[in-house]
Amino acid sequence: MKRTASLTTRTGAPHLGERAFPRLMIAPTLLVMAVLTAYPLIFTLVYSFTDYQYLKGTDASKFIWFKNYIDLFQNGYFRQAVLNTIKFTILAVVFEMVIGLLIAVFIHSLKRGQKVMRTLILLPYLLPAVTVALSWRMMLSSNYGIVNQILETFGLPVYNWFMDTKTAFGTVLLIDVWQNVPFVFLLLYASLQSVSEAQYEAARIDGAGVVQQFFYVTLPNIKNGLALCALLRTIDTFRLFEKVNILTGGGPAGTTSTITQFLYNYGIKSLKFGFGSAGAIVMTLLVLILSSFYIKRAIK
């Protein structure tokens, strides 16, 4: 009581020290965030208005204002990459969410063996993306890959998975979904743990079947987990790079080219960091727009 009195003024307003203390405590975090996030973002924004080429140095670069952005939107390969990325993100997130949710519900319903299944399902997610890409490249090799050999054994048609415009996009999508379903599963499985058994019992007493329990008990209870999961997967999928770079290089005929792959080919490889920065800013804005729905929901 005595201590409280010493930290407040006679009017009851917080004492200066009481106001300063929390600010002092969050200051290091703010500083770190400013250095690691705001600083690079601001510099990327500034560079995006210049013709900065890394080898020529900053001294030789000059402000060209919106030329990089105009060039970007006039570039047919960039527009194709944007469309591919949006299409890939929507399909991947939908598939990952649906499959991850179904697996989570299934594992959650198991009476025995939950721990073993949980561990096994998580394995693909633990592998680095590069390892995943190389393993799949070997398995799907049109020459010595096990997948084509199995298809041939059963008399089914074989494909040149990564070099054919009909299959390349779908194959990369399948690999990405395979690797990231466990992440969705893990988050949703954790959400399911928090759903009270009493709610299911009450639903059963009211005569609800399995499907009704899923839609009226399970889904409303894990909707926040679903929203968070969709947000994280959207942001992550939008940045897809390693798998595309290793497996297809953006080909065939640009059908798997993503924004990051485009920026790598036309901005990073040619060291045109001004142009690359403009692409990065556009990409950040697109991610923000796509994920704004989830962010708004999370803030609520």
Q: Which residues bind other proteins (CB under 8 A)?
A: 17, 21, 24-25, 28, 54-57, 76-77, 141-144, 160, 162-165, 248-255, 265-266, 268-271
Task: Choose between 142 and 213: whose C-beta lies nearer to other proteins.
Answer: 142
Q: How far is the CB of 155 from other proteins (least distance, A)?
A: 16
Alpha carbon distance 109, 271 (integer Å): 53
Q: How far is the CB of 258 from other proteins (least distance, A)?
A: 14
Task: Choose between 189 and 262: whose C-beta lies nearer to other proteins.
Answer: 262
Listed residue (239, 235, 241, 236) closest to 292, CA to CA: 235
Alpha carbon distance 187, 181 (integer Å): 10
Task: Choose between 74 and 193: whose C-beta lies nearer to other proteins.
Answer: 74
Task: For residue 134, give both structure tokens.
Answer: 């190389």
Listed residue (249, 272, 265, 260) closest to 64, CA to CA: 272
Q: How far is the CB of 251 from other proteins (least distance, A)?
A: 5
Q: How far is the CB of 256 from other proteins (least distance, A)?
A: 11
Cis, peptide link before residue 220, omega less than 30° from 0: no
Task: Choose between 199 and 270: whose C-beta lies nearer to other proteins.
Answer: 270
Alpha carbon distance 119, 182 (integer Å): 10
Q: How far is the CB of 27 from other proteins (least distance, A)?
A: 9
Identify the sign of the CA torsion 243, 247, 249, 255. Answer: negative
Backbone angles phi, psi at 50, to 5 degrees: -120, 170
Cβ atoms of 185 and 100 within 8 Å: the answer is yes
Distance of CA 24 to the CA centre of its chain: 33
Q: How far is the CB of 16 from other proteins (least distance, A)?
A: 11
Distances (CA, A) of 167 to 164, 240, 252, 256: 6, 18, 10, 10
Q: How far is the CB of 134 from other proteins (least distance, A)?
A: 11
Alpha carbon distance 188, 265 (integer Å): 37
Task: Choose between 66 and 293: whose C-beta lies nearer to other proteins.
Answer: 66
Q: How far is the CB of 151 from other proteins (least distance, A)?
A: 16
Distances (CA, A) of 234 to 88, 105, 240: 10, 22, 10
Alpha carbon distance 195, 190 (integer Å): 10
